[in-house]
Amino acid sequence: MKKILALTLALALSLGLCACGGGEEPAPETEGTEVTEPAEGGEVASGVEDGVLTVAMECNYAPYNWTQPDDSNGAVPIKDTDGEYANGYDVMMAKKLCEANGWELEIVRLDWDSLVPAVQAGTVDCVIAGQSMTAERAEMVDFAGPYLYASIVCLTKADSELANAAGISDLTGTCTSQIGTIWYDTCLPQIEGANIQSAAESAPAMLMALETGTVDFVCTDMPTAQGAVVVYPDMVILDFSASEDGFQVSDEDINIGISVMKGNTVLKEALDAVLSTMTADDFNALMAEATAVQPIE
């Protein structure tokens, strides 16, 4: 399960997975990458036979995950880097899962579109990166979890006329979200007054588009939005989840899961055994902890 990384694309996601993304990642057809086939008898190796859980994430998707220059606040070294560390909600959750199972944790940094292919190829054991548990992804990987429930919201500037919007029908103007996410592919098209711009390559790029005035609002999930307003105090969150004039989303859009190789029941069950003991309040408390220590710059 620990093959040399063969997939690295330009720029991050993600987001993202849900960024928590919902778009379908491409199959791993890149030269030099092969999809790991089940062993004889249909069994798939768990990947943790060596006592190490290798986890992929972007390390660029606060508060889910980010890169920092030291091990403060419990950050974990990023494999094959010189003095770079990963931290965030995904790292904190991975540490809990490893502690419960007696595994060591290894973090691998990949960009968004490389995450699912890496699991399929056996390059990593799992992805913990804010991915929505969509039906499209479930055709390519198995999911453990959820390990978080993330409602869909919008962000705009506090001095914008949109700051008083009561529902998605009040939203007009230019907008964007992260590429390959349900925010961009499913939610933005539901806004009749939206002038949808090209998708941002990453969650940070999405937020920068709003901050610089390139767009009037963006669509994301609540954890990403909560992290954004810490970094950009001039932004406000538009939460229409309790309104009839909100986004029409399913559980698969807001349930955030951990992807493992198809048929890897041993690893999936080990992860689920830990996650099943945690509640939504536990998840939210851990996310609040991550948001409190995320980098401001």
Q: pLDDT (tens digit, 0 to 9) for every residue of the chain, 297 residues total?
A: 443 333 333 333 333 334 444 444 433 333 333 444 444 444 789 999 999 999 999 999 899 999 999 999 999 999 999 999 999 999 999 999 999 999 999 999 999 989 999 999 999 999 999 999 999 999 999 999 999 999 999 999 999 999 999 999 999 999 999 998 899 999 999 999 899 999 999 889 999 999 999 999 999 999 999 999 999 999 999 999 999 999 999 988 899 999 999 999 999 999 999 999 999 999 999 999 999 999 876
- The domains of the chain, with CATH numbers, are 52-149+253-293 (3.40.190.10), 152-251 (3.40.190.10)
Residue 146: asked if its preceding bond is cis (omega within 30°), the reply is yes
> Is this model's pTM higher than 0.75 or not?
yes
Residue 63: asked if its preceding bond is cis (omega within 30°), the reply is yes
